[in-house]
């Protein structure tokens, strides 16, 4: 901005609508139920920037690379904010809401600096062996002919990887019931009916969620207390969090970092689990792509090193295309810390802004035939960070992107050559938005031994709005590479 009052237009010039309080609650519910349908509707009606005005404030919904760039780069103006439902001060829900996503400015920089070593790409050479072990254990009970919930298997597998590598915990100190407790709390915290009426009254879903938050917090505090007592000297994320100090170098009370510990765990396995799920789903629906990938993997031998997988061009394109088409994080939010500008508009302090990775990735002007799953498009395109942002961009880029890609590539390279995964014919596959975008109510698949006799299962559900499944041509039989 050149200076106050330059050529900028007022907020009121942004097209949009004014909403009553009940209208705003209704809108919030519709958004929470299905943000993608809602965002498509806004873009069709108002264009790339919409203003939703309520008595509680302004929400802008911004689409496209220009806005993405500003929102990611101008971190002093566009502050990140927690995505978990608020709770009253001094409650577990309030404490669990605090995370790196709620930090800005100097505190955010210090926290990133603290966590960075844990996530360095060079760590993947070490982590790959543990990850491969988890993939092997997760798939050991699989058998040809079984019908399984792929979503559950994959999530539990990634949860175990995160528990082990980022939290230094094992089955004894953090068993599957902690996974259930986390899933349960998270499901409630993102449920539209809980978010629509966040009032602490007896028998309300919100009250139930608060109680679960208190139990979950206790579980995490116990784990953290034990680790701090043991010295917190490890190289994992939990130890790094526990070594975080206040600005004047004092130990941070556990209650102030318990939310960080929980949120990091949740975002790590939810996003990675959903991305792996979507990738396996797409491969199962596009036999020719799977054949091509099998050819590439066959050339790498039975247990390729991670460096080989990371350099494998077709696998890399498949993953990029999967994250473009079905990004686990379909939108992000910001809050203005002061008066400023977005594009050609003046916007006041405390304006909430939503911007969308998904909508950007589905813009036909950036990606022709955007709903088409076409890994080959990556041979010729080189989008900017504001055009392709599955892991965000700028100073808040995802810390776990190397780890996530390492887990996904190792898992795909282990599973696909061994197992033929087919969605149960005529199953309904709908999207569900929790912490991230995944299949609603699981992903039922039939397992078979990989014999390269691949076919596409007919399916229904609104995943068909996101991916053009009719273009998946029947796969020609391709001989197994020698």
Backbone φ and ψ for 300, nearest 5 degrees, come out as: -100, -5
Q: What is the sign, positive or negative, of the torsion defined by CA atoms of 35, 41, 46, 47?
A: positive
360 binds ligand HEM per the rule CB under 6 A? no
Q: How far is the CB of 97 from ligand HEM (least distance, A)?
A: 15
Closest to ligand HEM by CB, 322 or 450: 322
171 DSSP assignment = T
396 binds ligand HEM per the rule CB under 6 A? yes
Closest to ligand HEM by CB, 404 or 467: 404
Q: How far is the CB of 333 from ligand HEM (least distance, A)?
A: 7
Cβ neighbour number for residue 199 with a 10 Å cutoff? 7
* Window contacting ligand HEM (CB under 6 A); options: 219-227, 269-277, 285-293, 412-420: 269-277
Site mask, ligand HEM, residues 88-127, x = CB under 6 A?
------------xx----------x---------------
From candidates 283, 289, 328, 416, binder to ligand HEM by CB under 6 A = 328
Nearby residues of 122 by Cβ (< 8 Å), 6 or more positions away: none
Contact 435, 266 (CB under 8 A): yes
Report how far residue 40's alpha carbon sits from residue 164's, in angstroms, rounded to the nearest whole number. 39
Closest to ligand HEM by CB, 272 or 336: 272
* Window contacting ligand HEM (CB under 6 A); options: 124-132, 266-274, 372-380, 472-480: 266-274
* Window contacting ligand HEM (CB under 6 A); options: 51-59, 239-247, 394-402, 409-417: 394-402
58 binds ligand HEM per the rule CB under 6 A? no
Site mask, ligand HEM, residues 329-348, x = CB under 6 A?
x--x----------------
Report how far residue 21's alpha carbon sits from residue 100's, in angstroms, rounded to the nearest whole number. 31
Chain mean position to CA 224: 25
Q: How far is the CB of 265 from ligand HEM (least distance, A)?
A: 8
Contact 232, 252 (CB under 8 A): no
Q: How far is the CB of 268 from ligand HEM (least distance, A)?
A: 4
403 binds ligand HEM per the rule CB under 6 A? yes
Backbone φ and ψ for 169, nearest 5 degrees, come out as: -110, 160
Backbone φ and ψ for 86, nearest 5 degrees, come out as: -70, 155
239 binds ligand HEM per the rule CB under 6 A? no
Nearest alpha carbon to residue 403 among 139, 151, 158: 158
- Tell the burial category of 249 from Cβ atoms under 10 Å away from its Cβ (0-12, 13-18, 19+): exposed
- Tell the burial category of 473 from Cβ atoms under 10 Å away from its Cβ (0-12, 13-18, 19+): exposed
Supply the DSSP string of 36-82, one letter for each residue.
HHHHHHHHHHH-SEEEEEETTEEEEEE-SHHHHHHHHH-TTTEE---
Q: How far is the CB of 469 from ligand HEM (least distance, A)?
A: 22
Q: What is the CA radius of gyration of the chain?
A: 23
From candidates 220, 281, 391, 419, binder to ligand HEM by CB under 6 A = 391
Q: How far is the CB of 388 from ligand HEM (least distance, A)?
A: 11
Nearest alpha carbon to residue 12 among 53, 68, 46: 53
157 binds ligand HEM per the rule CB under 6 A? no
392 binds ligand HEM per the rule CB under 6 A? yes
Paired residues of 61 in beta bridges: 50, 354
Report how far residue 121's alpha carbon sits from residue 102's, in angstroms, rounded to the nearest whole number. 25
264 binds ligand HEM per the rule CB under 6 A? yes
75 binds ligand HEM per the rule CB under 6 A? no
Assigned token pair, 131:
């990850």
240 binds ligand HEM per the rule CB under 6 A? no
* Window contacting ligand HEM (CB under 6 A); options: 10-18, 120-128, 215-223, 387-395: 387-395
From candidates 160, 272, 290, 356, binder to ligand HEM by CB under 6 A = 272
Beta-strand runs (E) in 289-378: 332-336, 340-342, 345-347, 352-355
Q: How far is the CB of 408 from ligand HEM (least distance, A)?
A: 7
312 in helix, strand or coil?
Answer: coil
Residue with smallest beta-carbon separation from ligand HEM:
400
From candidates 399, 415, 433, 472, binder to ligand HEM by CB under 6 A = 399
267 binds ligand HEM per the rule CB under 6 A? yes
> Residues interacting with ligand HEM, by CB under 6 A?
80, 100-101, 112, 264, 267-268, 271-272, 275, 328-329, 332, 390-392, 396, 398-400, 403-404
């Amino acid at each position: 901005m050149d200076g106050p009052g330059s050529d900028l237009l007022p907020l009121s010039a942004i097209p949009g609508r004014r909403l009553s309080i009940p209208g705003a609650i209704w809108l919030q519910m519709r958004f929470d139920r299905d943000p993608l349908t809602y965002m498509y509707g806004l873009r069709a009606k108002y264009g790339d920037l919409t203003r939703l005005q309520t008595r509680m404030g302004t929400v802008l919904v911004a689409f496209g690379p220009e806005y993405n760039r500003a929102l990611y780069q101008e971190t002093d103006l566009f502050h990140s904010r927690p995505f978990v439902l608020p709770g009253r001060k001094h409650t577990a829900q309030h404490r669990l809401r605090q995370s790196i996503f709620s930090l800005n400015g100097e505190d955010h920089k210090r926290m990133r600096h603290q966590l960075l070593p844990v996530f360095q790409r060079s760590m993947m050479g070490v982590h790959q062996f543990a990850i491969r072990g988890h993939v092997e254990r997760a798939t050991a009970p699989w058998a040809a002919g079984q019908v399984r919930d792929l979503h559950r298997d994959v999530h539990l597998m990634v949860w175990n990887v995160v528990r082990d590598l980022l939290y230094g915990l094992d089955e004894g100190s953090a068993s599957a019931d902690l996974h259930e407790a986390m899933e349960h709390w998270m499901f409630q915290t993102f449920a539209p009916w809980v978010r629509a009426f966040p009032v602490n009254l007896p028998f309300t879903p919100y009250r139930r969620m608060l109680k679960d938050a208190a139990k979950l917090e206790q579980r995490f505090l116990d784990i953290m207390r034990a680790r701090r007592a043991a010295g917190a000297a490890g190289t994992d994320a939990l130890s790094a969090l526990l070594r975080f100090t206040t600005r004047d170098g004092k130990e941070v009370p556990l209650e102030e970092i318990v939310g960080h510990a929980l949120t990091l765990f949740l975002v790590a396995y939810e996003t990675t689990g959903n991305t792996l799920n979507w990738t396996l789903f797409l491969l199962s629906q596009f036999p020719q792509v799977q054949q091509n990938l099998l050819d590439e993997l066959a050339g790498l031998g039975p247990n390729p090193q991670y460096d080989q997988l990371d350099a494998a061009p077709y696998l890399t394109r498949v993953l990029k295309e999967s994250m473009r088409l079905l990004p686990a994080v379909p939108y992000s939010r910001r809050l203005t810390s002061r008066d400023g500008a977005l594009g050609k508009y003046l916007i006041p302090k405390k304006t909430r802004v939503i911007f969308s990775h998904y909508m950007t990735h589905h813009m036909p002007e950036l990606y022709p035939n955007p709903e088409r799953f076409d890994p080959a498009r990556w041979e010729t395109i080189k989008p900017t960070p504001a055009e392709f942002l599955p892991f965000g961009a700028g100073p808040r880029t995802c810390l776990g992107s190397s780890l996530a890609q390492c887990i996904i590539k190792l898992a795909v390279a282990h599973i696909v050559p061994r197992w033929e995964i087919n969605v149960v014919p005529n199953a309904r596959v709908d999207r569900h938005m929790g912490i991230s975008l995944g299949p609603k109510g699981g992903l039922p698949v039939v397992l078979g031994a990989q014999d390269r006799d691949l076919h596409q299962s007919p399916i229904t559900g609104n995943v068909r709005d996101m991916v053009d499944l009719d273009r998946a041509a029947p796969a020609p039989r391709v001989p197994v590479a020698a």
